[in-house]
Structure 1
Amino acid sequence: MPEVEVGTVTHYYGHINVAIVQLTDNLKVGDNVHIKGHTSDFNQEVSSMQIEHKDISEAKAGDIIGMKVLQKAHPHDKVYKVTP
Structure 2
Amino acid sequence: MLAWAPYGRRGIFGGFEGVSEWDVLWFGLPVMTLGGIAAGITLFALVRGKWRQALGAGALLTGLVGFGVVFDVLAGPPLNCDPGPC
Shared fold (TM-score, shorter chain, > 0.5):
no
Bigger relative contact order, structure 1 or 2, given CA contacts below 8 A and separation 6+?
Answer: 1
Question: Which structure carries more helix by proportion?
Answer: 2
Which of these two proteins has the greater Rg computed from alpha carbons? 2
